[in-house]
């Protein structure tokens, strides 16, 4: 059900309260997924619904590291030094313990090592600028698939 995905996107700060409520209103008007959950979301908002036990409201979809990476990467402004710094900080910690066979995980380990374990900041920055556009292209479909499930 798309409610679990919309709540996950809300929890990851990709959607505002208003956007979630508007989404629920739209689904109600189209009579898509005519469940009580949509009415609760519309009338009480996502913050309230998240405070309810799982017996009363669906739990957010647990996003995988790859999904979270794809969502963040496709929203990343590569021209913004601040955005890139925040992304590097996130990827360096979020990738730890994930499946090393995934390119986005190895990227995170490389960033972690270059920026936080050594003094090779210039080499790490060069690596980030070279690899990030490729990873954005490779993961774009995953992010688009998530967004399409709530359209």
Residue 56 covered by a domain: no
- Whether 110 and 41 map to the same domain: the answer is no
34 band by pLDDT with thresholds 50, 70 and 90: low
- Mean pLDDT, to the nearest integer, of 54-81? 94
Residue 142 covered by a domain: yes
- Mean pLDDT, to the nearest integer, of 68-79? 94
- Alpha carbon distance 92, 115 (integer Å): 8
What are the C-alpha distances in Å from 105 to residues 44, 76, 93, 131? Answer: 38, 17, 10, 12
Identify the pLDDT of residue 11: 95
pTM (predicted TM-score)? 0.85
- Whether 72 and 125 map to the same domain: the answer is yes
- Whether 21 and 91 map to the same domain: the answer is no
- Whether 90 and 46 map to the same domain: the answer is no
Residue 58 covered by a domain: no
Domain that holds residue 77: 65-148
- Would you list the DSSP string of 104-144? HHHHHHHHHIIIIISS-HHHHHHHHHHHHHHHHHHHHHHHH
Identify the pLDDT of residue 30: 86
Is the pLDDT at 33 greater than 80? The verdict is: no
| Residue 39: both structure tokens together | 């009415």
- Whether 46 and 74 map to the same domain: the answer is no
How many domains would you assign to the chain?
2
The secondary structure of the chain in percent helix, strand, coil, rounded to multiples of 5, reads 70, 0, 30
- Alpha carbon distance 109, 15 (integer Å): 28
Whether the CB-CB separation of 20 and 45 falls below 8 Å is answered with yes
Residue 57 covered by a domain: no
- Whether 72 and 19 map to the same domain: the answer is no
What backbone torsions phi and psi does residue 41 show, to the nearest 5 degrees? -65, -40
pLDDT over 70 percentage in the chain: 91
Secondary structure (3-state) at 103: helix
- Whether 69 and 95 map to the same domain: the answer is yes
């Amino acid at each position: 059900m798309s409610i679990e995905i919309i709540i996950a996107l809300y929890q990851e700060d990709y959607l505002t309260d208003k956007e979630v409520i508007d989404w629920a209103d739209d689904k109600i008007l189209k009579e898509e997924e005519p469940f009580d959950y949509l009415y609760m979301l519309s009338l009480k908002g996502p913050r309230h619904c998240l405070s309810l036990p799982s017996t009363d409201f669906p739990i957010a979809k647990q996003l995988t590291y790859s999904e979270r990476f794809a969502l963040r990467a496709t929203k990343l402004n590569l021209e913004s030094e601040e955005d890139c710094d925040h992304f590097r900080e996130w990827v360096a910690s979020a990738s730890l313990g994930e499946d090393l066979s995934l390119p986005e995980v190895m990227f995170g380990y490389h960033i972690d090592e270059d920026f936080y374990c050594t003094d090779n900041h210039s080499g790490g920055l060069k690596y980030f600028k070279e690899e990030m556009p490729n990873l954005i292209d490779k993961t774009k479909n995953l992010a688009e698939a998530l967004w399409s499930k709530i359209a």
